[in-house]
Amino acid sequence: MIRVTTLSNPRLAQAFIDYMKTQGVILEMQSQGRTAELWLHDEAELARVEAALDIFLLDPLHPRYQAASWHSGDTGKGQFHYTPSSWLPALRNQAGPFTLGMTAVCVVVFILMNLVGDDQVISWLGFPAGPQQYVQVWRWVTHILLHFSLLHLLFNVMWWWYLAGLVEKYRGVVPLLVLTLVSAVVSGVVQSHFSGPLFGGLSGVVYALMGYVWWYGEKNPDSPLMMPRGVIVFALLWLFAGYFDIFGIAIANAAHVAGLVIGLLMAFWDTRHGIGTGRHR
């Protein structure tokens, strides 16, 4: 069997399966949390399925797909079983322990900053302010834990949870850890060159993850690691807006650019050397 794609909506995935069944092609759905992987039994039909999938994704609610479900008799007879569950298991399912652990640490540090003051926490975790702090090696990384507003924190940890969760789930904790450490150090060095040591936030790492997931998905279209091109365009527009101070807020533009470049380079290396690729099971 060969995996064709991953869809975020199991009901739409079933509609596509039903439609392809009317075309004489058998697909199987494998649930992965709240997403659905589509697997093809006959690899000779891959090109045909991918062409049909492109059309389906343009208009998944077209009546032809609902009609196919009615025709196949799979309109809902035991196909989906949604049981009440708390939000915590859902979070755990979408992200691994490192992803969730980093999220929790960022939240704890933010609370601490509001209790004892930004300056105090920066004195503990901020980027090295001079040669005397260079040997305090944690500072080269811990600046990513600092967030100076609730909006700043929420924006970063939401993107981190989504992107880091994907990387940890499908590439493993070691690649995610390496990407996090490298992008934290490099984005910090670059940002400090332009603004000095008073900065913080996870956004440099987030941009590294954006670059990595996007490029990895472009080179491996069948991989669960992918980012819609519209989202990467949004990220680039955000960079553009930051450089021209459109929003009137302090944005670590240099860290964003450095992180994005690191993510792209690491994805280029992994895809060039076939690391973590493969579509068969």
User: Domain containing 63 — which CATH number?
Assistant: 3.30.70.2350
Number of C-beta neighbours around residue 17 at 10 A: 22
pLDDT tens figures, 222-242: 677 877 777 778 777 877 766
pLDDT at 42: 86
Q: Is residue 246 part of a domain?
A: yes
pLDDT for residue 280: 34
- pLDDT of 118 > 90? The answer is yes
- Whether 197 has a pLDDT exceeding 70, the answer reads yes
Q: Residue 77: inside a domain, yes or no?
A: no
- Identify the pLDDT of residue 79: 46
Domain boundary among 18, 43, 72: 72
Buried b (16+ CB within 10 A) or exposed e, 27-47: bebeeeeebbbbebeeeebee
Examine the pLDDT at 80 and tell me if it is beyond 60.
no
Answer with the residue of higher pLDDT: 242 or 181.
Answer: 181
CA distance 99 to 177: 10
What confidence tier does 256 reach under pLDDT thresholds 50, 70, 90? confident
Cα angle 88, 92, 93 (rounded to 5 degrees) comes to 115
Q: Are residues 37 and 136 in the same domain?
A: no
Confidence tier at 191 by pLDDT (50, 70, 90): very high
CATH number at residue 160: 1.20.1540.10
Mean pLDDT, residues 165-178: 92
Q: Domain limits at 20? A: 2-72
Residues 17 and 45 occupy one common structural domain: yes
Active-site residue numbers? 203, 256
Residue 111 maps to a domain: yes
Residue 194 domain-assigned? yes
In the predicted model, is pLDDT for residue 260 greater than 80? yes
The one-letter amino acid at 265: L
185 and 55 share one domain: no
CB of 220 closer than 8 Å to CB of 233: no
Q: Is the confidence at residue 51, as pLDDT, over 70?
A: yes
Q: What is the mean pLDDT of residues 176-189?
A: 96
- Average pLDDT over all residues of the chain: 83
Assess whether 46 and 99 both reside in one domain: no
Residue 248 has pLDDT above 60, yes or no: no
Structure-model confidence comparison of residues 213 and 273, the more confident one: 213
Confirm whether 280 is domain-assigned. no
Residues 51 and 111 in one domain: no
Q: Is residue 81 part of a domain?
A: no
More confident residue, 31 or 222: 31
- Number of domains comprising the chain: 2
- pLDDT computed for residue 268 by the predictor: 93
